[in-house]
Every structure is written in structure tokens, then in C-alpha cells.
Structure 1
Amino acid sequence: MVSKRHSVFSLNDLGQLDYFLGIEVKNRDNGSMSHSQGKYIRDLLTKTNMLESKPLSSPMEVGLKLSKNGFDTLYDQPMYRSVVGALLYITITRPSICFIVNKVCRFMAIIAWWAKKQPDISCSSTETEYRSLALATSELLWIQSLLQEFGIS
């Protein structure tokens, strides 16, 4: 099978996989593999100057309320987004942090929403409802035309 692939594609044998896309791969004697993101996490802790911090049994302070107040002055927003993205990637091997990562993702979205200027200001709730209805109608028409292209009426 390998020789067949070599006849079709130009391949180089790089040996056993050790590290790929931030995931360490360890091959065991019995043929099984284990995956870890330990190096990726250590690199993230180094990047955020948290390598010397002590581990906690819970990834989040109980009852923590995230607030927009002081966000602009206390945080480097591009760095915050980068760290949140890295944390999302870490949930591949650490599902126990999914809840808190989801919470900081929502916080990041709220900050972006607060920072974004609204292009239109509705004068009444009726106007707002009309805009929402118009948007929903255009989306439904698009979905309907897409379904018709697939032969679904």
C-alpha cells in the first residue's frame, strides 16, 4: 500500500509523529497512542506570564461575574482574544474547562458588541420588529432558493 502511494505521490518519510498542531503524540509499545497538549499549555502559560502560577482544583472562581468595566484599560484585547482562542483549542484534550472557556468567549462577544457602534437607531419598537421581520424573511427566502437548488420543495 505504501509503495502504491509512493508511485502516485511524492512522499517523504519523516518518522513517527511526535508533535503536530500543538498536540504531543506518544506511541506506546503495545501500538496504542496517547495525546497531550502539555507543551502547548506550557507555551501559553509562558506567553501570558503565568508559568509560575499555582494550579486550582476548579478552573473558575465560584460565582465569578465578568464585567465590561475596566476592560479597555486592564486588558490587551488582541492578547485576550488570542488566549481565548488558545483555550478553545485546549478543550480538545481538556473538556473539563469547556464551561469556563465558553463563559470567557461569551464575555469577549459582549465586549465586542459594546464596542461596536450601531449603524441604525430605531425610533420605536415597531420599527425594530419590522427590521427583524425583514431580515428573517430575506434569510428564509435564501434558504428556500437553496433547498430548491437541491430539488427539495
Structure 2
Amino acid sequence: MIITSDDTIGIDVLKSQLQQQFEMKDLGPLRYFLGIEVAHYPKGYLLSQSKYAADVIDRARLTDTRTLETPLELNVHYSSTDGVPLADSTLYRAIVGSLVYLTITRPDIAHVVRIISKFVSSPITVHWAAVFCILRYLRGTLHQSLLFSSTSTLELRAFSDADWAGDPTDRKSTTGFCIFLGDFLISWKCKKQTVVSHSSAEAECRGMADNTTEVVWLRWLLADSGVSLYAATPMYCDNKSAIQIAYTGLQKIFTL
């Protein structure tokens, strides 16, 4: 089990009580848990999955030593009919599943992993090549990690974006957002929208709505943890039409 608190006396008492009821062993401070490496520094905690990522690369039998600067080519689109079906898709499914788990500490690959995950039922050679691109990118950024600072402020900030009709198959858009608590990233998501948007502004508004839902939940979670946020949470979006729509909607709410 994992116990997190700054009350060392309370932790010792709890461990003593548990040892009286269960057979357990104290492994000391958390260093490694379910493929996630945890490093303790005066500035905070560092979360990494570098060893897990290296194991995924080895499991994929990637023999060359090439690295890539990006996990996927710019503006590339994949379908289920652009290549030859794989003779055995077992390894493809295993690697994609591992990459999904890797997004716990690697938000930079969340979007591309979502793309290749769509084809796990019937992958083709082009999709397998895309997986190799992601693995080569991971090899070049193997030690990239998340820092949770102990001195950061508790200001919550949200960023959202969307690509309009980015999926060539069904013309649905993809929502992407990330939320920072002070200087460190605490929440991110990349997901295809459930309906077709008729404009880029509509796609962006749907993305902002999903982001707002996450922000509300995080504010409740922080409040339950004893962290009170009195200031409003700023949300950033790069679509002027969507910003104007949101601004007009807020004006109507406050004038009721």
C-alpha cells in the first residue's frame, strides 16, 4: 500500500496498527510503482516512466537506433484501407495498450496514441509504421518527465483547442485540453467529439465545454482536499469566434 502525508508520526502509528492486523513489509519511501518512477527532490516530485518506455521499445523489436523529433508527421491522416492487414495483430495491440498506459506521464503523445488506438481491431502496415514513429520519438525523449513543484502557486489555469473535422472518415473534430495548477500539469485529455461540428467555432466551443467540466471537477476535488480557490479559473482558447460566443453567453447569464 502507499501512504501519503506530511504527518510522519501519524504514518508510523498507522503502519504499526496495520502490521498488527496484516502481514506487511515497509519498503520505505515511494520509488517505483506500477511502472512509474518517483524521485524526491527539495523542489518537489519527479514522475517518470523512462524504464517502462524502454521496455516497450524493446518489446516492439525496434532494431535500428533512429530517433525522431516529433511522434507523428504533421497533418497526416490514417484510415483502415491505406495498407495491407497485419498477419498477426497481437503485438500491435500489446504495444498500443502499453502506449496508452505511458500517457500517464507523457501527455505529449496522448494525441497520437489516440489516433493509433482507433485501429486496434484491424491494424494495417501503415498503422504499424506509425507506432514505430512514436517509439522512435520516445527513444529520443526517454527521460522526459513530469515535475510537481513544492513551491508553485495554486492558481488553476486551463487551455483548450480543437481541430475542426480532423477525422477524414466521419468528419468529427478532436478536443484537446490541459490544465495547470501553478507551474505543473495536473490534467490533460485528447478525445474525438461525439457529434459533427458545423464550424470551427462550434468545435472549439465543444472543446471549451469539456474543459470547463474538468475544471469544475478539479475545483471540487481541491476543495475536498483543503485547497480553496477563490479566484476564477482563466481558460485560454485561440479561436476568436468561440471566445466571443462564450463572452456573450456569460453576459446573458450575469444580466438575468
TM-score class, shorter-chain normalisation, is 0.5 to 0.7
Distance, in Å, in 2 between the alignment partners of 1:51 and 1:42 is 13
In 2, the alpha carbon distance for the partners of 1:16 and 1:39 equals: 19
Amino acid at match of 1:102: R
Structure with the higher strand share, 1 or 2 = 2
Unaligned runs of 5+ in 2: 1-12, 124-256
Structure 1 counterpart of 2:85, which letter?
F
Question: Is the aligned partner of 1:27 residue 2:53?
Answer: no
- Structure 1 residues 38 and 24: alpha-carbon distance in aligned structure 2, compared to 1, 3 A threshold: same
Q: TM-score, normalised by structure 1?
A: 0.61
CA distance 1:11–1:32, change in 2 (3 Å):
farther
Count of aligned residue pairs for this structure pair: 108
Question: Paired residue for 1:137?
Answer: none
Q: Following TM superposition, by how much is the alpha carbon of 1:11 offset from its aligned partner in structure 2, in angstroms?
A: 1.8
Q: Does 1:9 align with 2:22?
A: yes
Q: Hey, what's the Cα distance between the residues in 1 that align with 2:56 and 2:93?
A: 13
CA distance in 2, matches of 1:80, 1:12: 38
> For residues 41-85 of structure 1, what are the alpha-carbon distances to aligned partners after superposition, in whole Å with 9 as ceiling and x for unaligned?
011111112364333222111233334430234xx3000000000
Structure 1 match to 2:75: 63
In structure 1, list runs of 5 or more residues that go unmatched: 113-153
- Higher helix fraction: Structure 1 or Structure 2? 1
- Larger-gyration structure (1/2): 1
Q: CA-to-partner distance for each residue in 1:68-105, whole Å, 9 max, x for gaps?
A: 430234xx300000000000001000011111111101
2:88 corresponds to 1:80: no
| Identity fraction in percent | 34
Residue 92 (structure 1) aligns with: 104
Aligned in 2, Cα 1:5/1:31: closer, same or farther, shift over 3 Å? farther
How far apart in 2 are the matches of 1:106 and 1:61? 17
How many Å separate the matches in 2 of 1:31 and 1:63?
Answer: 38
Q: Identify the match of residue 108 of structure 1 among 105, 116, 120.
A: 120
